[in-house]
Chains A and B, each alone.
Chain A
Amino acid sequence: MARFLARRLLFAVILIAITSSAALVLARLAPGDVTSQLGPFASQVEVERTRSRFNLDRSPISQWVLWAGRAMRFDLGESFLYNRPVAPLVARAAANTALLGVVSLLTATLVGLALGVFTGARSGPLPLLVRSVSLVCVSLPPLVTSLAFVFLAARTGWLPAGGMVSSAASDPSWSAWMIDVLWHLPLPVLALSLPMAATFERLQSQSMSDAVQQPFVLAAIARGVPASRVLLRHAWPSSLRPICAVYGLAIGALLSGSFIVEFVTAWPGLGRLTFEALRARDVYLVAACAATGAAFLALGTMTGDLLLAAADPRVRQESAG
């Protein structure tokens, strides 16, 4: 187990190093630089000073070396756009994205798996209805769901149509802030988790209907084990393998999906920040965003692997040996 974790940790470090370095170098090599943000009337002196402040006067390689050396000591540089150190900026955006992502993933998992067990094990009009609805929802990408929900919110006024906090509550207490965030959370969470829940439902339904046809289920029923116990304690755990296998991939999809949901619903997360940083050629901010995204990704795939190992003894054997 320790060796397995160590290998995943090494993978995570490599992933973070490669993606953030690539992002830094790509953003540096992109045509135009951050000084175009100064406007057309900036003086030559000001442009030169900005260039040297962000090490743009060095060659890309020496800039990378300088940045990598500092990044080892967790000094990620400064942002031009926000005129302050990158680390707290990114940490805040990452926390917002993590809140959205984790709540969405939990919602999708709970709803999707529960419905999947139901439709996989039963037949009749109600499971058929659930199945059809989820086939429709699988085909609703986050771009479409978020636009549709924002439209509904704007039309009905039931939920705030965007943002994470109301601008009116600018000086709130901690609890008021929490309630405000909770009030803004359902819309992006719904938009993000609906297609994902449907995907989990389809997968779980498929593997559950395979599992209930296994001989050991019949044997358990023949021994007189109650049906609900057979379903939940015998059939369900054995059907979890394909779900855990896509869980790691689901994290990537979650990040991809949260980008567009954040964009449409004006959620101040990592996606929006990355986009702004890329457009402004704010090199250190781009690199830090890429590093954070890669860290999320590594964490997600690691969680997926651990879940897979927990659900399937065969995998545990492989990683132990």
Chain B
Amino acid sequence: MRRAAWSLLLLIAMAAAAAPWLAPNPPNQRFDDLLYAPPTPIHLLSDGLHAPFINPWHVVSRLERRFEADTFVHLPLRWFTGGTLVTGDPDAGAPLLLLGADGYGRDIFSRLLYGARATLVVSLVSALLATIVGACVGGLAAYAGGWLDGVLSRVSEFVLVLPAIYVALVLRAVLPLVLPPSTVFVLLIGIFTLLGWPIVARGVRAIVLVEREREYAVAAHAAGASDGRVLFRHLLPASAGFLRTQASLLVPAFMLGEATLSYVGLGFPSTIPTWGTMLQDASNVALLGDAPWSLAPAAAIFVVVLGVNLLAQSHGRAPVQLEP
């Protein structure tokens, strides 16, 4: 179970890293004849076995978004051309659309791969930062005690009790609504770090409070180790297991945060493919029923969350995923 979860997550990370090579089409290329085109089937059989080939889509009705495969034209898949693993024949109007096309005629599969990069990098970096900040604050609060502990604990409790998505929403919405992508990137990481650290800090504080009374900590003190050394070299390593689990649970939470903010139009601009902006493109209810493939990013989010939950469960923790 644990190995399966790890390989699943690793596979997704590798697919995101290798996006330029794996994606059959550039993420922002529009195929104007193929708005909401369904996924391209890959055929092997036609009067005997062939190399994998596809049929170009033929538009029957643009208004009803009906397509028919032109079964008389066989276009073999092109492998290792133009720096990609496999691609169709975009020039002949037959790109390889593994997950169909969205409302602008863009390849959803390619966008999903590129989108994974932004979504995963934002959530991984925020989870890492939140864990580091939380560990430092929690350790400091427990080790120092007194009024510092009181203040830090009250602050983290206050942040914890607020519904995370509303805080993210308010913090994002009070800044200029239209921002360049790089600014949004930094901003989202900042907001998520701010929301994530108290969860980590509370757990670390509880662990350090117990650990600092243990003999090895007292011994380190007696041997003349400085406060900083005792805290960072002796006490915080004791919470490593907790930190690992917590960081892995924060990743899907932040991923959802990105997706939610982008979905409501306060995350990345729609020119940047992320799983959130892709869902926003898919949000037209009237068209959703006819183009289920545009929900692919939702499925991708589910797979990552499931992988992390399986991982957390194999560590002996109940998969509690209450905050988005």
Contact = CB atoms under 8 A, between A and B. Distances in A.
B170 A23 contact: yes
B263 A143 contact: yes
A250 B321 CA distance: 10
A31 B166 contact: no
14 contacts: A31-B175, A135-B313, A143-B263, A144-B298, A147-B282, A147-B283, A162-B285, A203-B318, A256-B163, A259-B166, A274-B169, A278-B173, A279-B177, A301-B161
Given A143-B301, A293-B163, A275 B320 contact: no
Nearest to A204: B318
Contacts of B161: 15, 252, 297, 301
Given A139-B321, A203-B318, 5 more contacts: A147-B282, A148-B298, A151-B292, A202-B320, A256-B164
Interface in B284-313: 285-286, 288-289, 292, 295, 298-299, 301-302, 305-306, 309-310, 313
Given A203-B318, A263-B264, A256 B302 contact: no
B105 interface: no
Contacts of B99: none
Contact of A141 (B163, B174, B305): B305
A263 B318 CA distance: 29
User: Chain A interface: which size bin?
Assistant: 35 or more
B264 A256 contact: no
B263 A260 contact: yes
B169 A275 contact: yes
Choose among B163, B164, B301, B324 the residue with the greatest number of A CB atoms under 10 Å from its CB: B163
A144 B263 contact: no
Given A30-B175, A139-B321, A199-B321, A259 B165 contact: yes
Given A138-B309, A139-B309, A203-B318, A151 B288 contact: yes
B322 interface: yes
A30 B323 contact: no
A138 B302 contact: no
Contact of B322 (A19, A161, A206, A253): A253
A246 interface: yes
Interface in A17-66: 18-19, 23, 26-27, 29-32
A144 B173 CA distance: 23
Given A139-B302, A155-B289, A162-B285, A252 B321 contact: no
B318 A150 contact: no
B323 A253 contact: yes
Interface string A113-141: 00000000000000000000001101111
A264 to B, nearest CB: 7
Contacts of A136: 306
Contact of B259 (A139, A140, A143, A253): A143
Given A30-B174, A162-B285, A147 B166 contact: no
Interface of B: 158, 161-166, 169-171, 173-177, 252, 256, 259-260, 263-264, 279, 282-283, 285-286, 288-289, 292, 295, 298-299, 301-302, 305-306, 309-310, 313, 318-324
A139 B305 contact: yes
A286 B321 CA distance: 28
B169 A260 contact: no
A252 B319 contact: no
Contacts of B306: 135-136, 139
B174 A246 contact: no
Contacts of A32: 176-177
A112 interface: no
Contact of A147 (B298, B310, B321): B298
Given A141-B305, A203-B320, A264-B283, A278 B165 contact: no
A203 B317 CA distance: 10
Given A23-B170, A139-B309, A253-B322, A260 B162 contact: no
Contacts of B292: 151, 155
Contacts of B173: 30, 275, 278-279
Top 5 A-B residue pairs of the complex, sorted by shortest distance between their CB atoms: A154-B289, A30-B174, A278-B173, A253-B322, A139-B306
A75 B286 CA distance: 41
B165 A260 contact: yes
A246 B301 CA distance: 24
Nearest to B298: A144
Contacts of A268: none
B169 A151 contact: no
A255 B256 CA distance: 15
B166 A293 contact: yes
A188 interface: no
Nearest to A26: B174
A73 to B, nearest CB: 26
A155 B289 CA distance: 5
A137 to B, nearest CB: 10
B298 A253 contact: no
B163 A297 contact: yes
Contact of A275 (B174, B252, B264, B321): B264
A178 interface: no
Contacts of A250: 322
B294 to A, nearest CB: 9
A195 interface: yes
A55 B200 CA distance: 41
A209 B152 CA distance: 36
